[in-house]
Amino acid sequence: MVKKKSDSSGEIAKSHFVRCRYCGQKNNVRDDYKNNDANCGKCKLPLSNEPHKKFADLTKHEYIHPADSKALAALRAIPGIDTALRKFLAVTFEAAMRVNFMASAVKITPKQYPDLHAKLQVACTTLGVDMPDFFLQQNPLVNAFTFGMERHVIVLHSALIERLNDEETLAVIAHEVGHIHAEHVLYLTAARIFELLTRVSLSMIPGGELAKFILNTTIASALLAWARRAELSCDRAALLVVQDPYVVGKTMMKLAGGTFASKMDYEQFLEQGREFQKHCDENQLDNFWANIINAGQTHPFPIWRVAEILRWVDSGQYGELMKK
Ligand SMILES: [Zn+2]
Ligand SMILES: [Zn+2]
């Protein structure tokens, strides 16, 4: 449909509708508009006539990182682990965490931060996941996380949306939705709680004997080793949603180097990633992770993650999935 309206110079500019490739919203644009010149009024993502793939029946086995499945299999081989973790989370923190976010963070809905809500919808429809609860919390630490067994909850820190542009924000939301799609949430919630608990005494933890079972070193180290590797699978899920490796790489670059990413050289950053991977074998990485966890960080190594995601693209697996 063609409409006419006046532009600032008073001349009549012709306009037409472009349907947002991400969320499906109809947007009115000028006829001389080019791809990515304007953003969608609903999800705020760049408008273009490029297609956007939605996966009808994606299974986690189609994109999961081998290091993730290997570490998860080792974790699941511990007798009674699933039941123990479920009980532990039920008696300890799930309810408390949920109340905490209800009380201290802003719940994102179609009327509250509608563009973030629309981005979550884009990620969920692309991967085929039910909408979780979604919160934005004031926090200067650039981070996002997912928890909750009874009902999944995704939390974004305010610093994250202040630093990232709309496409990069979608990449982070899609990474979190990936944790749900890849069935990580039980173990992820446990890992997160474990990280918090390393800083308090065992006697303060509700759940008594159960807590001691969960917090024994075998389980804890299996859990934490897995949690780092799970990130790699979800970076792949993020790529399946944003459908542009450059956006995922640039998001990592900002996570590594802060907001001044416009002054950073992306090619140099990729080179740094390749260097890192060359010098770090698996064992060294495990030691490194231990140090990082002790320093209280949950999503380490943007450099390494970007090298991993590019390796996946180079392997051809990403391209195969996009053609499916
Ligand atoms: Zn849109
Ligand atoms: Zn993650």
Question: Which 8-state DSSP code applies to residue 61?
Answer: G
Cα gap 152→132, rounded to integer Å = 5
For residue 21, the ligand closest to its alpha carbon is: 1
pTM: 0.85
Q: What are the phi and psi torsion angles at 115 (to 5°)?
A: -70, -35
What is the pLDDT of the chain when averaged over all its residues? 83
Ligand 2 geometric centre to CA of 234 (Å): 6
Three-class SS state of 298: coil
Ligand 1 geometric centre to CA of 75 (Å): 40
- Distances from the Cα of 34 to the Cαs of 2, 39, 49, in angstroms? 16, 11, 9
Ligand 1 geometric centre to CA of 63 (Å): 26
What pLDDT band is residue 42 in, cutting at 50, 70 and 90?
Answer: very high
pLDDT (tens digit per residue) in 134-151: 999 998 888 898 988 778
Ligand 2 geometric centre to CA of 90 (Å): 22
- Distances from the Cα of 103 to the Cαs of 39, 112, 137, 142, in angstroms? 33, 16, 10, 21
What pLDDT band is residue 1 in, cutting at 50, 70 and 90?
Answer: very low
Which residue, among 179, 214, 212, 216, has the nearest Cα to 298 in the 3D structure? 179
Beta strands at 153-157 and 144-147: parallel, antiparallel or unpaired:
antiparallel
For residue 121, the ligand closest to its alpha carbon is: 1
How many CB atoms are closer than 10 A to CB 57? 7
Task: Please name the residues in contact with 125: beta carbons below 8 A apart, sequence gap of 6 or more.
Answer: 54
The confidence score (pLDDT) of residue 258 equals 67
Q: What is the Cα Rg of the chain in Å?
A: 21
Of 214 and 121, more confident: 121
Query: Facing residues of 14 across strands?
Result: 4
Query: Facing residues of 107 across strands?
Result: 135
Cα gap 317→255, rounded to integer Å = 25
Q: Which of the residues are catalytic?
A: 176
What pLDDT band is residue 109 in, cutting at 50, 70 and 90?
Answer: very high
Q: What is the mean pLDDT of residues 27-37?
A: 89
Q: Which two tokens stand for residue 139?
A: 């926090």
Q: What is the mean pLDDT of residues 301-315?
A: 85
Q: Residue 4: is its pLDDT beyond 50?
A: no
pLDDT (tens digit per residue) in 217-264: 677 777 877 888 899 999 999 999 999 999 998 898 887 766 665 667
The confidence score (pLDDT) of residue 294 equals 46
Q: Residue 115: is its pLDDT beyond 80?
A: yes
Task: Report the amino acid identity of residue 70.
Answer: K
Task: Please name the residues in contact with 223: beta carbons below 8 A apart, sequence gap of 6 or more.
Answer: 75, 187, 190, 191, 194
pLDDT (tens digit per residue) in 179-199: 999 999 988 888 877 766 665
Cα gap 278→309, rounded to integer Å = 15
Ligand 1 geometric centre to CA of 49 (Å): 12
The confidence score (pLDDT) of residue 311 equals 87
The dihedral through the CA atoms of 219, 221, 222, 223 has a sign that is positive
Task: Report the amino acid identity of residue 13.
Answer: A
Q: What is the mean pLDDT of residues 88-93?
A: 71
Cα gap 229→4, rounded to integer Å = 53
The confidence score (pLDDT) of residue 2 equals 45
For residue 145, the ligand closest to its alpha carbon is: 2
